[in-house]
Amino acid sequence: MAHTVLVTGATGMIGQALVPLLARRNDVGAIFVLTHRREYMGSSGKVMPVRGDITAGPDLAMTRELSREIFDRTTVIIHAAANTRFSASLEESRAVNLEGTKTLLTFASHCPQLEAIAALSTVHVAGKRTGTVCEEDLVHTAGFVNSYEQSKYETELLLREHMSELPISVLRLSTVLGSSTTGEVSRMAAIHHALRFYYNSLAPMIPGKPDSLVDVIAVDYAAAAVEHFAVEHLQAGRTFHICGGEDVLTLARLLELTREAFLRYRPSWRKRAIEMPAIVDLPTFELFARSVEEVGDNILRGSVAIIKHFVPQLVYPKIFRDVECTRSLQAKGLLKPSVLEFYPLVVRWLVESGWGERGTLAGGAGA
């Protein structure tokens, strides 16, 4: 029997890459995509956009008739909806990430044919932990850099409580950049804004250490991995890291690669003589941030306001192990794109598209 899949968060970066993959599968007959604020722009006869809200009660703000139809037909739920704003308050983050997931689990409990719930999370539920973080690790008391991390951690605790009664697997993603083949970014996130601030000399310093590890992945790899674990490799009760693992960059190397890409794809940038951001300790960065908030101009205040909620994560060095995830994906023939190969493509796309504002690339390396 063909699967009927319900996808929340289908208009996000992962959702936009994931739904077309699902639509191409012969074993997927229908895909309900739950949309809230944004319209789903994909085109496939299998895809049925549905207006709903995971925070609005057990029917997800759908009509009773529609919710019952989805109850009866759904075999797989992929839960990608989340409040990913690092600057959100804990109350705001919990409202969507924790309480919204509670509501979705209630919805899922009414689905008689349900075979799998793939709940997307983040490797940064590890918060301020340091060292090696394995796929089954969760509970810690190290604290968190922002409310997003804390709310997703609390959500994972909730998911583990329900794993005995519902077929839940947790898929933790690291920072998703863009396409491994074109570099295209469908939705701008905090890291893309941070790169723009560096380009415009609005990020003079970053907290961390030169050898702090930065784990980033390509969106097509992330979407293919989610598709695999949600539809093909159903393993209820398990947690998988979809991340760079051992294929990571140090902070110093990432800044160097970024500078090289700026110079290569926008040679005129050289004339501006912009220095690489200084790598400083956290107290120095926090002092800088406070000073900017008090006396800086509006543009600099805006840039610091965005990056101050996530770059402190670099002060807590860690490496995420993805042994089980990699083993399963390699058995399928799905190989992880090399960060050294796709990262410059993403920077090129950002520079030449004006961070997506011009829609398409503005020319070749000499532009």
Q: What is the pLDDT of residues 22-70, one digit of tens each?
A: 999 999 999 999 987 666 666 668 999 998 899 988 888 888 899 999 9
The predicted structure's pLDDT at residue 42: 63
- What pTM was estimated for this model as a whole? 0.93
The predicted structure's pLDDT at residue 140: 98
The predicted structure's pLDDT at residue 312: 94
Q: What is the mean pLDDT of the chain?
A: 92
**pLDDT > 70? residue 98:** yes
**pLDDT > 50? residue 360:** no
**pLDDT > 70? residue 364:** no
**pLDDT > 50? residue 294:** yes
Q: Does domain 3-184+215-247+320-332 have CATH number 2.40.480.10?
A: no
pLDDT band at 127 (very low <50, low <70, confident <90, very high): very high
Q: Structural domain boundaries of the chain? A: 3-184+215-247+320-332, 190-209+249-317+339-352
**pLDDT > 70? residue 292:** yes
The pairs formed by 256-261 with CB atoms below 8 angstroms and a separation of 24 or more are: 257/340, 257/343, 257/344, 257/347, 258/195, 258/198, 258/347, 260/344, 261/343, 261/344, 261/347, 261/348, 261/351
How confident is the model over 229-257, as pLDDT tens digits? Answer: 999 888 899 999 999 999 999 999 999 99
The predicted structure's pLDDT at residue 265: 94
The predicted structure's pLDDT at residue 363: 32
**pLDDT > 80? residue 324:** yes
How confident is the model over 191-216, as pLDDT tens digits? Answer: 999 999 999 999 899 999 999 999 99
The predicted structure's pLDDT at residue 43: 63
The predicted structure's pLDDT at residue 241: 98
Q: Tokens representing 32?
A: 């309900």
**pLDDT > 50? residue 362:** no
